[in-house]
Amino acid sequence: MLVVDDDASLRKALQIGLTARGYEVLLARTGEEGIAQVALGAPDLVVLDLGLTDMDGLDVCRRVRSWSSVPIVVLSAAGSESRKVAALDEGADDYVTKPFSMAELEARLRTALRHAGLPSAEPTEVGAGRISLDLVHLTARLDGRPLELTPHEFSFLSYLARNAGKVCTHQMILLAVWGPGYGEETRYVRVYAHRLRRKLGDADGRMLRNHPGIGYELVAE
């Protein structure tokens, strides 16, 4: 796991706390150093502060996400909804507002790591119309062409695909993709639905259908 934060005391606290919980922790104090660590160290997860000294954490998220699907959990003192949506829209998988408890952070990390892979009880493949998903290798295809998806995007799409033709409520999607404790974070669903539509070339929403105030339905055509 890689922690990118310019606050030396917080880096140290996270290193101690996460190491005590069994994680192997790498540290970076700048955005550029963090990007290099992702490329060279191939961490399983990135904990990213947005308020870095050399660049906006959103730029780090955008650059990493352009070539890597590593889960990214953002830390920020800015708790505004617009900032959260911006982070999610740039590819972050979750957003934790400072100050936070180690228990809360670890729960978010566990969720992000869990969605970087799928339990063995899942079927190995799912097909829904033009979409095919390999749940073992976490790969997705549209009309036979590879789709580059982040872990949460893949989990979102695979959940809808397993329930193709059914309306999945916001709460059902949040529970399946992000886990307990996210029942009110409906903006997560809206942001990820928008990102999936963009990647599916579904600008008109015919494939990923929105049911306003209720949820989403994957139409298998």
Confidence label for 122 from pLDDT (cuts 50, 70 and 90): very low
pTM of the model: 0.58
Residue-wise pLDDT for 16-52, tens only, equals 888 888 888 999 999 999 998 888 878 889 999 998 9
3-state secondary structure 119-169: CCCCCCEEEECCEEEECCCCEEEECCEEECCCHHHHHHHHHHHHCCCCCEE
Confidence label for 80 from pLDDT (cuts 50, 70 and 90): confident
Does residue 198 carry a pLDDT above 90? yes
Question: What average pLDDT does the structure give for the chain?
Answer: 87
Does residue 201 carry a pLDDT above 90? yes
Q: Average pLDDT of 155-181?
A: 86
Domains of the chain and CATH, by start? 2-114 (3.40.50.2300), 125-218 (1.10.10.10)
